[in-house]
Amino acid sequence: MSDDTDACSIAASLGIVGDRWTILILRDAFRGLRRFDEFRRDLDIPRAVLAERLRRLVDHGVMTRRAYQERPVRHEYRLTRMGLELSPILVSLMQWGDRWCREDGPPTLLVHADCGTEIDLHFHCWHCDTPFSATDIASRPGPGEHHRPMPPLEGADPEEPPGDEPSSHRAATG
Amino acid sequence: MSDDTDACSIAASLGIVGDRWTILILRDAFRGLRRFDEFRRDLDIPRAVLAERLRRLVDHGVMTRRAYQERPVRHEYRLTRMGLELSPILVSLMQWGDRWCREDGPPTLLVHADCGTEIDLHFHCWHCDTPFSATDIASRPGPGEHHRPMPPLEGADPEEPPGDEPSSHRAATG
DNA sequence: CCACGTCGGTTCGCTCGCTGAACCGAGTTG
DNA sequence: CAACTCGGTTCAGCGAGCGAACCGACGTGG
């Protein structure tokens, strides 16, 4: 693969979590699963693959392996802070799937635990105090090296989504 | 694979974009690349794989293929609205990589085009008017079928990130 | 006219990773 | 001591990814 890990943090992230099984394991971890066999049964994943993926996640610091009992010693896997911070990725994957991969509406809603309000993960500029969309994103060099510019973006056909309106807010093209 | 596509929109999304090359192709599309050879050279991806991935993306409605010239007829690939709405996934992958996969700081910053303010993709409850994190997420059944509950989440070791503070949504560095 | 270059692919062996199934070791249960 | 649990490892087979070659439609230059 083009190892543009240096120039692109997306490529860097994919080096750790850029694989279907890994994402599903993490999803299950967010759902509270911790044990090898829980993951294995839920995902119906080959044992060897699960073992290898968990090892990778632990090696990278995304999960920890700790004994939850001695005699016989058995281990469980938990998300670290690094792992917990993957949540926006999983949430955005879920919301995109909700929106574009089904007609019958989301099977599960995510809400703010404190108040039960549905989670809304859209771009919002705290400076302009306004929502915006992908076409309103620009890029500029960061403190790290290896910047590659991103020209202004333009979509192709503005095909309508299957179901409802984009959202209550989200102005942009509308 | 456990085809829990019905129960889980994450699995459904992964069925379309759950593959390393596909994500990198989409990243390049967001950066403005459109032609077969642009993708191929930038990613150094095998031609056959690129052709197959683009075909899949077009089949699923994420990109369109349209001729940009006749004689000889040549095609370009563009993001549809469905594709453009993948941006939160890519942005969150990028921000996670910025934060956890490098010490030297992000190579590229994404900003709101209108005002240049850095993009901040964190959870924010518009009801409580407060930011929150993964551990403050709960779930409940949605309108679709097949709900699977998510118990309250608890991380393992609250290991510190390499760089700055976690919460208090990091404003633009400047 | 013919050789060469460009662009968007397809075809072809080879290899490498995923797969399901079997096996294993430490320990508990009956 | 046989059976079961849990967390793995090992192994043969197969399919997906790989680099390289080839292809077809067209423009270019000699």
Residues of A in contact with B24 (CB under 8 A): 1-2, 10-11, 14
Q: Which residues of chain A have pLDDT under 70?
A: 1-3, 145-174
- Rounded to an integer, what distance in angstroms lies between the CA atom of residue B64 and that of residue B11? 23
A73: nearest nucleotide, CA–C1' criterion: C26
Residue B71: per-residue pLDDT: 83
Q: What is the mean pLDDT of chain B?
A: 85
Residues of B in contact with A160 (CB under 8 A): 81
Residues 133-172/B with CB < 7 A to strand C = none
Residue A104: per-residue pLDDT: 86
The answer to whether the beta carbon of residue A48 comes closer than 7 angstroms to any atom of strand D is: yes
pLDDT over 70 (residue B11)? yes
Residue B4: per-residue pLDDT: 74
Tell which CATH classification among 3.20.20.80, 3.40.50.720, 1.10.10.10, 2.102.10.10 matches the domain A9-80.
Answer: 1.10.10.10
The stretch B140-169 carries a mean pLDDT of 57
Consecutive H or E run containing A96: helix A87-100
The yes or no reply on domain B9-84 and CATH 2.60.120.10 is: no
Residues of B in contact with A111 (CB under 8 A): 137-140
Contact B173, B118 (CB under 8 A): yes
Burial class (CB in 10 A: 0-12, 13-18, 19+), A90: buried
Residue B172: per-residue pLDDT: 31
Contact A117, B126 (CB under 8 A): yes
Question: Is B102's CB within 8 Å of A12's CB?
Answer: yes
pLDDT over 50 (residue B43)? yes
Question: Is B16's CB within 8 Å of A87's CB?
Answer: no
Q: Which two tokens stand for residue A56?
A: 């990778």
pLDDT over 50 (residue B162)? no
Q: Which residue has the higher pLDDT, A104 or B155?
A: A104
The answer to whether the beta carbon of residue A60 comes closer than 7 angstroms to any atom of strand D is: no
Domain ranges of chain B: 9-84, 87-174
DSSP state of A70: T
Residue of A nearest to B19 (CA): A19
Residue-wise pLDDT for B109-147, tens only, equals 999 999 999 998 999 998 999 999 999 999 998 887 666
Query: Comparing C-alpha atoms, which of A23, A150, A61 is closest to residue B110?
Result: A150
Residue A146: per-residue pLDDT: 66
Residue A150: per-residue pLDDT: 63
Residue B47: per-residue pLDDT: 96
Residue B171: per-residue pLDDT: 32
Angle between helices A20-30 and A36-43 (to 10 degrees): 120
The stretch B64-80 carries a mean pLDDT of 93
- Rounded to an integer, what distance in angstroms lies between the CA atom of residue B25 and that of residue A108? 29
- Tell whether B164 is within 8 A of chain A (Cβ): no
For strand D, which nucleotides have at least one atom less than 7 Å from a protein CB? Answer: 5-11, 17-21, 24-27
B4-26 CB burial, b ≥16 within 10 A, e <16? bbebbbbbbbbbbbbbebbbbbb
The answer to whether the beta carbon of residue B44 comes closer than 7 angstroms to any atom of strand D is: yes
Residue B45: per-residue pLDDT: 96
- Tell whether A82 is within 8 A of chain B (Cβ): yes
Q: Please give, rounded to a whole number of angstroms, the shortest distance from the CA of B71 to a CA of chain A.
A: 22
Nearby residues of A106 by Cβ (< 8 Å), 6 or more positions away: A94, A98, B9, B142, B143, B144
pLDDT over 80 (residue B155)? no
| Torsion angle (degrees, nearest 10) of CA B91, B109, A167, A170 | -170
Beta bridge partners of A75: A67
Residue A132: per-residue pLDDT: 93
Q: How far is CA A51 from CA A36, A111, B97, in A?
A: 8, 32, 24
Residue B159: per-residue pLDDT: 53
Residues of A in contact with B117 (CB under 8 A): 125-128
Tell me the DSSP string of A111-139.
Answer: EETTT-PBP---EEETTTTEEE-GGGEEE
